[in-house]
């Protein structure tokens, strides 16, 4: 049995938005209640999140933007963008979302844990170097990628983003950096409207490219808004599907980077669906279940699946010869 770490803390409920806002504390409450169940709690190791230092946040964000976020601590209610709302606790909570992500990565890289799941908010993958957007304040996964390279000595990091929405912030930060590979599957043209087929590549796609890239760490922007019951989405992933995705990524990580993988919460706005899906992932990570990915994939419509995959391969084979095999 491998050691699985989970970042979760009541502090992540202190980032308060309007009652009608999708990224409201209520989206984590059912999941946290289930994590408190002694039967579930003893399956994993709790990772206590620290507050990220300024220099860690500044690995990808500008000083002026960091100061802008810090200034929200003086306002009971404010907004960093039209859809990214804040309260007087939001800066502290966002810095602890970064801190929890970094601590999970540190423990996985050090071998203290085999892998980890970060269940923090606010999410991060839309946040750009100089601005917030899409409910995201600091780009947790991007900061984690840079810290893994700059502070932990890793040469190559792969980021896999399965959120409903394209992780524009993460892509923009690394699209000219050959040491970070960004792989995104998302529903186009949903928000933010970026991420056309020519910008993306997923068992026939991700596995051969990951083998070629040889990452030393895999970070996953795990968006639960691809669940069929999510109010913002149009995809149909089930908790069993999230278990299958987790098993697939674990397999790739074992082949390429000694199993080092950290999954980080991004979207997911149906609280019960999020709780069910995250628990399915924890069961997979802790060995309570072991999904047969091939059997699951065999249930897909081959006509529709092949049409999409073949187009992706045609687009990306000029960059990755492994896709021709």
Answer whether 6's CB lies under 8 Å from 28's CB.
no
pLDDT score for 199: 30
Q: Is 115 a catalytic residue?
A: no
Q: Record the pTM.
A: 0.90
* Number of structural domains in the chain: 1
The answer to whether residue 312 sits within a structural domain is: no
The answer to whether residue 314 sits within a structural domain is: no
Buried b (16+ CB within 10 A) or exposed e, 266-291: bbbbbbebbbbbbbbbbbbbbeeeeb
pLDDT score for 191: 46
**End-to-end Cα, the chain, rounded Å:** 34
- Cis preceding-peptide flag for 115 (omega within 30 of 0): no
| CATH number of the domain residue 271 falls in | 3.40.800.20
The answer to whether residue 92 sits within a structural domain is: yes
pLDDT score for 200: 30
Task: Check 24, 61, 115, 126 and give the catalytic one.
Answer: 126
The answer to whether residue 304 sits within a structural domain is: no
The answer to whether residue 316 sits within a structural domain is: no
How far apart CA 285 and CA 129 sit, in angstroms, is 32
pLDDT tens-place string over residues 305-318: 666 666 666 666 66
pLDDT score for 46: 98
pLDDT tens-place string over residues 194-240: 433 333 374 567 788 888 899 999 999 999 999 999 998 878 889 99
Query: What residue has token string 């206590």?
Result: 48
The answer to whether residue 48 sits within a structural domain is: yes
Domain that holds residue 176: 4-296
The answer to whether residue 307 sits within a structural domain is: no
Residues of the chain with pLDDT under 70: 1-2, 186-200, 202-204, 300-325
The answer to whether residue 323 sits within a structural domain is: no
How far apart CA 108 and CA 208 sit, in angstroms, is 24
> What's the angle, vertex CA 57, arms to CA 141 and CA 156, rounded to 5?
45
How far apart CA 49 and CA 104 sit, in angstroms, is 8
The phi, psi pair for 22, rounded to 5°, reads -60, -40
Burial zone of 292 (CB within 10 Å; 0-12 exposed, 13-18 middle, 19+ buried): exposed
pLDDT score for 194: 43
DSSP, collapsed to helix, strand or coil, labels residue 176 as coil
């Amino acid at each position: 049995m491998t050691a699985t770490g989970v970042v979760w803390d009541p502090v992540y409920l202190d980032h308060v938005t309007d009652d009608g806002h999708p990224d409201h504390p209520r989206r984590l409450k059912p999941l946290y209640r289930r994590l408190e169940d002694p039967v579930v709690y003893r399956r994993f190791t709790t990772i206590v999140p620290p507050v990220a230092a300024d220099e860690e946040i500044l690995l990808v964000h500008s000083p002026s933007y960091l100061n802008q976020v810090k200034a929200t601590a003086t306002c009971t209610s404010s907004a960093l963008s039209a859809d990214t709302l804040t309260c007087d606790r939001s800066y502290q909570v966002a810095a602890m979302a970064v801190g929890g992500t970094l601590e999970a990565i540190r423990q996985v890289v050090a071998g203290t844990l085999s892998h980890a799941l970060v269940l923090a908010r606010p999410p991060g993958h839309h946040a750009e170097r100089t601005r917030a957007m899409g409910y995201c304040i600091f780009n947790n996964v991007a900061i984690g990628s840079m810290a893994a390279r700059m502070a932990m000595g890793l040469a190559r990091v792969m980021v896999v983003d399965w959120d409903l929405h394209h992780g524009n912030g993460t892509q923009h930060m690394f699209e000219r950096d050959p040491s970070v590979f960004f792989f995104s599957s998302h529903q186009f043209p949903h928000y933010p409207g970026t991420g056309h087929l020519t910008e993306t590549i997923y068992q026939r796609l991700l596995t051969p490219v990951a083998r070629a890239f040889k990452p030393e760490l895999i970070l996953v922007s795990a968006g639960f808004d691809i669940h069929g019951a999510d109010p913002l989405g149009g995809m149909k992933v089930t908790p069993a599907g999230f278990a299958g995705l987790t098993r697939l990524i674990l397999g790739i990580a074992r082949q390429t980077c000694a199993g080092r993988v950290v999954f980080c919460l991004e979207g997911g706005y149906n609280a019960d669906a999020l709780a069910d899906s995250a628990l399915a992932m924890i069961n997979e990570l802790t060995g309570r279940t072991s999904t047969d990915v091939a059997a699951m994939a065999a249930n897909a419509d081959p006509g529709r699946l092949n049409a999409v995959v073949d187009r992706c391969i045609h687009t990306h084979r000029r960059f990755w010869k492994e896709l021709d095999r």
